[in-house]
């Protein structure tokens, strides 16, 4: 099958969904009056609550939700063939992910900018709020740890990315000042900032920056970058959103959108054939079953619980008008679906254009193909996002860029997605810990500086301390040991958010099927996954087994609380 045809089908589906389904959802389920004041106006403080133009906020929200997961997930899931991944990315994004994100933003706007966890306290019960906060903290520390390790590893592996990534911080401060203090036209800012970013991508290929140049080992270099990244994320989360967070995400959104367009244009120019089978039948013994782990592996490429936290935790405090919510919530998730689609096409077709590559699983390989890359589940899991970097880089080369610049563009794109999530999640963790402080009347948790310190410290420990993994027989960082349960717990969090939305709108006598059916489906696949993994962890990794059991207990408790709430309302 031609990859360009697959791409056109996916993009057309997203366009139709935006033009028709999002409007239907907005009118029949999430209806609200646009003349109401948004929380950004009601509680304006110039730090967290800040009315933001829609164009800038879409960029901030899009880059915050689109981390590394929608790139890594489809690259690994391509092991099972292209059709299951394509259908879940497109249909899952439209009917589950986008509705989930849109709903989380709307409900927070209607309830004075409160987070989903806070809203659950009066929609369901006070116990539900406690469960949500525990979920968020566990996921927050895990995400911060893994994303910091992933970025640090890429800085060390691709040192040409250091200059363009870090120059964006200086550029963001300048852009924030020009937009909010000097009222410079955002279109002009977008064009100039894109030119500057890609100029430094080119400069970066000549000036690689590495701690190894001054005698650090690779491991020590990664640890040093991790410390720097957490220091940055702490400072960024404390600054007013307009100073660094918003403009940096706005710059990144333009860069990332252009990067995706480069990949799509490369697909149309080269039109590589899809080498992957429609559905893989001959899976090896080490591979998990297609159902339900296929859905969990794609993860954020179709649905993510963290999106609801970002929508209700930071974005809702910056929305200028209620009418902007559809474009920000529903539209941004379609953007993430497009990223996942680009990742899938790079994995199933783009890698066929690679003449030579150094794979984590195979070493040096010439004339790369899907059959070599995905010869086993172990290798597919080990390679992670390498298919996107190699395949995406090969597609960008069709536009006339050199191999070195193309690979730097893709690596910068991956790091930029992960980095914007890093500072946003740190900010959300601060909000969560403050909520716990107010809920328990612990005064020191209400302090924004202490809560920020507490937000990053456990994640930093997870990033630096090593742990003996009995499955591999070697020492690996604790954050990577915990990674297998991220997809399951993240999607379960999405199911819990959908449950809050279902009960909330049911009490308002709305037709809840568009959120009730996705809720049942997400609960079903994640429960089965948690149970299967618990059986596997019981014999291989007792720590992960205990964490899985805790997650199962928390989810059952939350569902019980939700059932009681519905029963009271009947």
Burial class of residue 152 (count of CB atoms within 10 Å of its CB; 0-12, 13-18, 19+): buried
Q: Give the C-alpha separation, 117 to 128, whole Å.
A: 8
Is residue 9 one of the residues assigned to a domain? no
Residue 84: CB atoms within 10 A of its CB come to 19
Q: Report the chain's terminal Cα–Cα distance, integer Å.
A: 52
Q: Given its phi and psi angles, is residue 299 left (phi above 0), alpha (psi -120 to 50 degrees) or beta?
A: left
Tokens linked to 356: 């030579």
List the chain pLDDT tens, one digit each, 570 residues: 789 999 999 999 999 999 999 999 999 998 766 677 899 999 988 778 889 889 889 988 888 888 777 888 899 999 999 999 999 999 999 999 999 999 999 999 999 898 888 898 888 888 888 777 877 887 788 888 888 887 888 888 888 888 988 888 888 889 888 888 888 887 788 888 888 988 998 898 888 888 888 888 888 888 899 999 999 988 888 888 788 877 888 888 888 888 889 999 999 999 998 989 999 988 888 788 888 888 888 878 899 988 998 899 889 999 999 999 999 999 999 999 999 999 999 999 999 898 888 787 888 888 888 889 998 888 888 787 888 988 999 999 999 888 888 888 888 888 887 777 788 788 888 888 887 787 777 778 778 888 889 888 988 888 887 766 655 566 666 666 666 677 788 888 899 899 999 999 998 888 899 999 999 999 999 889 888 888 888 877 777 788 888 888 888 888 888 888 877 766
Q: Give the C-alpha separation, 357 to 355, whole Å.
A: 7
Cis peptide leading into residue 540 (ω within 30°):
no
Reduce the DSSP state of residue 549 to 3 states and report it.
Answer: helix
pLDDT per residue as tens digits for the range 360-375: 788 888 888 888 999 8
Cβ-defined contacts of 150-154 (< 8 Å, 24+):
150/68, 150/418, 151/225, 151/229, 151/415, 151/418, 151/419, 151/422, 152/221, 152/222, 152/223, 152/225, 152/226, 152/229, 153/222, 154/411, 154/414, 154/415
Neighbouring-strand partners of residue 363? 359
Residue 370: CB atoms within 10 A of its CB come to 23
Is residue 113 one of the residues assigned to a domain? yes
Chain centre distance of CA 531: 25
Is residue 551 one of the residues assigned to a domain? yes
Is residue 51 one of the residues assigned to a domain? no
Average pLDDT, the chain: 86
Range of 258's domain? 68-278+290-327+337-378+388-569
Q: What are the φ and ψ backbone dihedral angles of 475, each rounded to 5 degrees?
A: -85, 125
Q: Give the C-alpha separation, 113 to 205, whole Å.
A: 43
- What local confidence, expressed as pLDDT, does residue 469 receive? 60
pTM for this model (two decimals): 0.87
Reduce the DSSP state of residue 380 to 3 states and report it.
Answer: helix
pLDDT per residue as tens digits for the range 402-437: 888 888 888 888 888 777 778 878 888 888 888 778
Secondary structure (DSSP) of 421-483 = HHHHHHHHHHHHHHHHHHHHT-HHHH-HHHHHHHHHHHHHHHHH-EEEETTTTEEEEHHHHHG
Is residue 127 one of the residues assigned to a domain? yes
Q: Considering only CA atoms, which of 120, 226, 26, 162 is closest in space to residue 502?
A: 120
- What local confidence, expressed as pLDDT, does residue 480 receive? 63
Q: Give the C-alpha separation, 406 to 399, whole Å.
A: 10
Q: What are the φ and ψ backbone dihedral angles of 441, each rounded to 5 degrees?
A: 60, 35
Is residue 307 one of the residues assigned to a domain? yes
Q: Give the C-alpha separation, 521 to 523, whole Å.
A: 6
Is residue 208 one of the residues assigned to a domain? yes
- Looking at the structure of the chain, the number of domains it has is 1
Is residue 367 one of the residues assigned to a domain? yes
> How long, in residues, is the chain?
570
Tokens 């040991």 map to which residue? Answer: 481
């Amino acid at each position: 099958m031609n990859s360009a045809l697959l791409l056109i089908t996916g993009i057309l589906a997203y366009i139709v969904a935006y033009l028709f389904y999002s409007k239907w959802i907005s009118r029949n389920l999430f209806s609200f009056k646009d003349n109401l004041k948004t929380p950004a106006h009601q509680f304006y403080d110039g730090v967290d609550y800040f009315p933001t133009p829609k164009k800038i906020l879409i960029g901030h929200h899009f880059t915050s939700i689109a981390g590394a997961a929608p790139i890594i997930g489809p690259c690994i899931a391509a092991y099972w063939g292209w059709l299951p991944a394509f259908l879940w990315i497109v249909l899952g994004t439209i009917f589950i992910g986008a509705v989930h994100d849109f709903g989380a933003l709307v409900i927070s706007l209607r309830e004075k900018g409160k987070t989903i966890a806070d809203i659950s306290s009066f929609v369901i019960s006070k116990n539900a709020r406690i469960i949500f906060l525990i979920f968020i903290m566990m996921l927050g520390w895990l995400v911060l740890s893994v994303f910091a390790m992933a970025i640090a590893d890429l800085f060390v592996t691709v040192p040409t990315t250091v200059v363009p990534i870090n120059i964006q911080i200086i550029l963001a401060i300048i852009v924030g000042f020009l937009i909010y203090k000097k009222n410079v036209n955002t279109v002009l800012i977008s064009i100039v900032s894109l030119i500057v970013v890609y100029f430094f991508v080119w400069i970066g290929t000549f000036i690689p920056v590495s701690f190894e140049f001054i005698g650090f080992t690779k491991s020590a270099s990664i640890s040093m970058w991790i410390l720097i990244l957490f220091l940055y994320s702490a400072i960024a989360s404390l600054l007013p959103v307009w100073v660094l967070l918003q403009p940096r995400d706005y710059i990144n959104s333009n860069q990332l959108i252009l990067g995706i367009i480069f990949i799509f244009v490369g697909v149309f120019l080269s039109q590589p054939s899809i080498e992957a089978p429609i559905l893989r039948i001959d899976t090896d013994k080490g591979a998990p079953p297609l159902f339900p782990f296929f859905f969990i592996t794609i993860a954020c490429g179709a649905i993510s619980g963290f999106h609801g936290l970002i929508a209700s935790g930071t974005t809702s405090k910056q929305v200028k008008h209620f009418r902007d919510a559809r474009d920000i919530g529903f539209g941004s998730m379609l953007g993430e679906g497009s990223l996942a689609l680009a990742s899938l096409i790079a994995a199933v077709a783009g890698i066929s254009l690679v003449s030579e590559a150094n794979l984590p699983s195979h070493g040096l390989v010439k004339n790369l193909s899907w059959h070599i890359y995905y010869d086993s589940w172990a290798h597919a899991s080990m390679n992670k996002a390498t298919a996107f970097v190699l395949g995406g880089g090969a597609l960008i080369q069709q536009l006339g860029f050199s191999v070195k610049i193309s690979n730097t563009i893709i690596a910068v794109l991956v790091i930029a997605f992960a980095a914007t999530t890093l500072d946003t999640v740190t900010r959300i963790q601060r909000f969560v810990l403050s909520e716990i402080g107010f809920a328990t009347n612990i005064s020191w948790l209400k302090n924004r500086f202490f809560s920020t310190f507490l937000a990053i410290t456990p994640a930093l420990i997870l990033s630096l301390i090593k742990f003996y993994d009995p499955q591999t027989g070697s020492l690996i960082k604790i954050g990577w040991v915990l990674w297998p349960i991220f997809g399951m717990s993240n999607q379960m969090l999405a199911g819990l958010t959908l449950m809050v939305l279902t009960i909330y709108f049911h009490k308002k006598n709305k037709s809840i099927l568009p959120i009730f059916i996705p809720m049942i489906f997400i609960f079903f696949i994640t429960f089965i996954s948690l149970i299967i993994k618990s059986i596997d962890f019981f014999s291989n990794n007792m720590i992960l087994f205990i964490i899985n059991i805790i997650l199962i207990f928390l989810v059952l408790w939350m569902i019980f609380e939700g059932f009681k709430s519905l029963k009271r309302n009947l």
